[in-house]
Amino acid sequence: MNRSRLLVVDDDADICMLLQRFLMKQGYEVEVAQRGSVAKEFMKQGRFDLVLCDHRLPDTDSVEMLQYIKGVSRDTQVIIITGYSDVRTAVELMRKGAFDYVGKPLYPDEILMRIKEALAQVSAKEEAVKSKPVAAKGVKDYVQGTGPHAKGLTGHIALVAPTDMTVLITGDTGTGKEFVAREIHSLSKRAGKVFVAVDCGALPKDLAGSELFGHVKGSFTGAVADKRGSFEQANGGTLFLDEIGNLTYENQVKLLRVLQERRIKRVGDEKDIVVDVRVLAATNEDLHTAVAEGRFREDLLHRINEFTLDLLPLRERKEDILVFARHFLQKANEQLGKAVEGFSDAAEARLLAHSWPGNLRELGNVVKRAVLLSTGPVIQLEALPAEVISGAAAPRSQEREVLGDLSAEGLKGVSHTAEKQAILKALERNGFNKSRTAEMLNIDRKTLYNKLKSFGIEI
């Protein structure tokens, strides 16, 4: 039986009750909270291994909750519950330390899968700390696209990988910067050594120095034993510093010294430790602007920018969308024990039409969810989220208005510009059952058919 402690935070009492019952049957200990303040009280009373948190709460939101949870217990995994129009926010929260997100409507099997993956990651990290360094895993996850950008990127990776140059990888959140870093490592002379990834955006500012450089016992409150930092753990191998722009000025100074002298000093210690580490860095912001605004040291930028790789957002490399989608399909089949063979023509068309604000991370989640929901050999259109089916996501304020109007007086209360989105939301809520959808919208079935046809929605 699983003895992990979970906390479900959602203002919907029915969702809390259903998730609690389902997860307790899976062997987890589960507490529920319908407000952020209640969740915080639970966290003060004891540690949770994972928190499943809705993005919108009556007294706060997931952004503030993630910051609080990670401040109280950095090792607690966080999964965000969100509508697909909030995918950009959800992916941004992953950059700040959330493990993943799940979209509404919620499917128990999908949530269970995400929870198991999150807890397995914690176990793998703990095991890695105890054991000796091993070669990097997940290299096979790197996928080479077919477009000109992909070919140029592959050529540059092959060129810089055998060297010991410090590489700066830039690109929007979710474009695969860590996968590129792992590919560089796998093609380098350090491939047989350890690859250590550190998300600087998720490091508490007061503990970042300890996480990177280590500390000695008694150097600060909570330092109950000596600790090896990320540089020592990566000795002989590669250290990947994601979202490097989030480091404090003090830690930027320390990092510059390490890159120049290849020596570190643990927090609270006087002696230097020699390290042999190749550093790869990544950011989703313009560090030149950060330099101009005084948030990032110019000398450090020059030191980490010996070679730059810029990753385009998925919307600017549409020729690769289906390449990545098929890769994620194969990966999801392996993880879920399924044998889905591909996508219908209609599903492929919608994948190509979507703007993908969450880039590869969003695409991977959408495909995994579709594989989970598919019962046949091919992913059909109805297995995709409503916003992908429509080809665009509704603005957040509009989504709130649409859902409110639906609950009040059906489709009559929805403005014409939001009507299509309301229909898609209702279809998804009702498992794409047209009769139940028409009833929910307070229109007859024939009217629904006519509106589906006029909006070009094929179900």
Rounded Cα distance, 154 and 177, in Å: 13
Half-sphere exposure of 445 (CA within 13 A, CB side): 5
Whose CA is closest to 33, among 52, 5, 10, 51? 10
Residue with tokens 């409110």: 404
One-character DSSP codes across 299-340: HHHHHH-SEEEEEPPGGG-GGGHHHHHHHHHHHHHHHHT---
What local confidence, expressed as pLDDT, does residue 228 receive? 86
Give the contacts of 121 (CB within 8 A, at least 6 positions apart): 77, 99
| Cβ-defined contacts of 373-379 (< 8 Å, 24+) | 373/107, 374/338, 374/340, 376/340, 377/339, 377/340, 377/341, 377/342, 378/340, 378/341, 378/342, 378/343, 378/344, 378/347, 379/329, 379/340, 379/342, 379/343, 379/344, 379/347
What local confidence, expressed as pLDDT, does residue 165 receive? 95
Could you give the angle at which helices 359-373 and 108-130 cross, rounded to 10 degrees?
A: 120
What local confidence, expressed as pLDDT, does residue 135 receive? 39
What local confidence, expressed as pLDDT, does residue 131 receive? 47
Residue with tokens 């992908």: 388
Rounded Cα distance, 337 and 184, in Å: 30
Rounded Cα distance, 171 and 95, in Å: 13
* Amino acid in position 32: V
Half-sphere exposure of 16 (CA within 13 A, CB side): 17
Cα-trace Rg, the chain: 24
Rounded Cα distance, 261 and 241, in Å: 18
CB 327 within 8 A of CB 145: no
> What six digits make up the tokens of 58?
């009556």
Rounded Cα distance, 333 and 340, in Å: 7
Element holding 399 (H helix, E strand)? helix 396-409
Instruction: Name the pTM for this structure.
Output: 0.70
Rounded Cα distance, 147 and 455, in Å: 32
Most distant CA atoms of the chain, gap in Å: 79
Rounded Cα distance, 126 and 449, in Å: 54
Q: Helix, strand or coil for residue 436?
A: helix
Phi, psi at 378, each rounded to 5°: -130, 140
Whose CA is closest to 281, among 305, 265, 257, 298? 305
Give the contacts of 370 (CB within 8 A, at least 6 positions apart): 347, 379, 383, 384
Whose CA is closest to 362, among 179, 176, 174? 174
Question: What domains, with CATH codes, occur in the chain?
Answer: 5-130 (3.40.50.2300), 139-312 (3.40.50.300), 315-390 (1.10.8.60), 396-455 (no CATH)
Give the contacts of 149 (CB within 8 A, at least 6 positions apart): 312, 316, 317
Residue with tokens 């229109």: 443
- Tens of pLDDT along the chain (459 residues) come to 458 999 999 998 988 999 999 999 999 999 999 999 999 999 998 889 999 999 889 999 888 999 889 888 888 999 999 875 567 777 778 877 888 888 877 888 888 988 998 898 776 655 544 444 443 343 356 787 888 888 899 999 999 999 999 999 999 988 999 999 999 999 999 999 999 999 887 777 777 888 888 888 877 766 778 888 899 999 999 999 999 998 988 889 989 999 999 998 888 888 889 999 999 999 999 999 999 999 999 999 999 999 999 999 999 999 999 999 999 999 999 888 899 999 999 999 999 999 998 899 899 999 999 998 898 999 999 899 887 887 654 444 333 334 444 444 455 444 554 677 778 777 766 667 788 788 888 888 888 888 887 776 766
